[in-house]
């Protein structure tokens, strides 16, 4: 965790230095152009002073925009570091992840789905890479949060990765949240945050729908 965070900070510092260098280069360019314009103006028909004022105003506006860009970049880097720290503190906790796939290894997997209306017949279908399907009959369910458990040993489902789909009597297609332990948080080479969750593999932070706390 600390390594990823420090790596991110270094990257943020490098970005800030690059932006600052660009700001200096732009400022030098404005100054050189202004000096060259003054030197090369016709002494008999000097440039209107208001034009120089306008150019200086444009330079100030450009510098302000570049400084704002630098500040925004620095704030984004700090925010990302805070997110890494916050999620890192949750390593070992059980989280809920909105997903369409699940990884089974023989152990039971818990999940939930949210129904907006009553369903007299509710079915969860798992499909493997070879399109072989395994159906779990969840029976009649009332509207609301519906918990369920996938027991691979009892259902005879071999280990592997499966896509999930829910069918209901009212043709509703609810999304599925799967529970799994958060095992690690890291930053990719591009700076995006990647979470590794049991039963799911690598997921994005945006897929997390809840934290259930740490289990003994």
pLDDT tens for each residue of 61-80: 777 777 777 777 666 666 66
Question: What region, left, alpha or beta, does residue 201 occupy, with left being phi > 0 and alpha being psi -120 to 50 degrees?
Answer: left
- Report the distance separating Cα 180 and Cα 163, nearest Å: 16
The helix (H) or strand (E) run that includes residue 63 is helix 49-88
Mean pLDDT of the chain: 80
Q: What is the 3-state secondary structure (H, E, C) of 88-111?
A: HCCCCEEEEEEECEEEECCCCEEE
147 pLDDT more than 50: yes
φ, ψ at 126 (rounded to 5°): -105, 135
Query: Would you state the structure tokens that stand for residue 74, as one six-digit string?
Result: 């620095």
Query: Would you state the structure tokens that stand for residue 14, as one six-digit string?
Result: 């490098």
Q: Tell me which DSSP letter residue 71 carries.
A: H
| Domain parsing of the chain, residue ranges | 2-88, 93-214
Question: Smallest Cα–Cα separation from 176: which of 81, 100, 108, 95?
Answer: 100
Q: Range with the lowest mean pLDDT among 14-23, 26-35, 165-174, 197-206?
A: 14-23
Domain made up of 93-214: CATH architecture: Sandwich (2.60)
Q: Which of 57-61, 75-79, 208-212 has the highest mean pLDDT?
A: 208-212
Stated pTM of the model: 0.62
Question: Smallest Cα–Cα separation from 134: which of 155, 105, 116, 113?
Answer: 155
């Amino acid at each position: 965790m600390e390594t990823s965070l420090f790596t991110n900070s270094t990257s943020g510092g490098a970005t800030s230095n690059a932006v600052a260098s660009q700001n200096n280069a732009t400022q030098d360019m404005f100054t050189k152009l202004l000096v060259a314009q003054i030197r090369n103006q016709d002494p008999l028909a000097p440039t209107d002073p208001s034009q120089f004022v306008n150019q200086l105003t444009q330079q100030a506006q450009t510098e302000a925009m570049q400084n704002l860009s630098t500040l925004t970049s620095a704030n984004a880097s700090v925010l990302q570091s805070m997110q890494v720290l916050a999620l890192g503190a949750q390593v070992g906790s059980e989280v809920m992840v909105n997903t369409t796939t699940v990884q089974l290894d023989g152990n039971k997997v818990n999940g939930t789905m949210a129904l907006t209306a009553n369903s007299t017949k509710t079915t969860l279908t798992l499909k493997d890479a070879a399109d072989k399907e395994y159906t779990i009959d969840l029976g009649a369910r009332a509207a609301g949060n519906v918990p369920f458990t996938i027991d691979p040993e009892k259902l005879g489902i071999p280990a592997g990765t499966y896509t999930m789909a829910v069918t209901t009597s009212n043709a509703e297609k609810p999304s599925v949240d799967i529970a799994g332990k958060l095992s690690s948080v890291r930053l990719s080479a591009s700076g995006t945050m990647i979470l590794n969750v049991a039963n799911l593999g690598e997921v994005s932070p945006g897929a997390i729908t809840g934290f259930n706390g740490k289990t003994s």
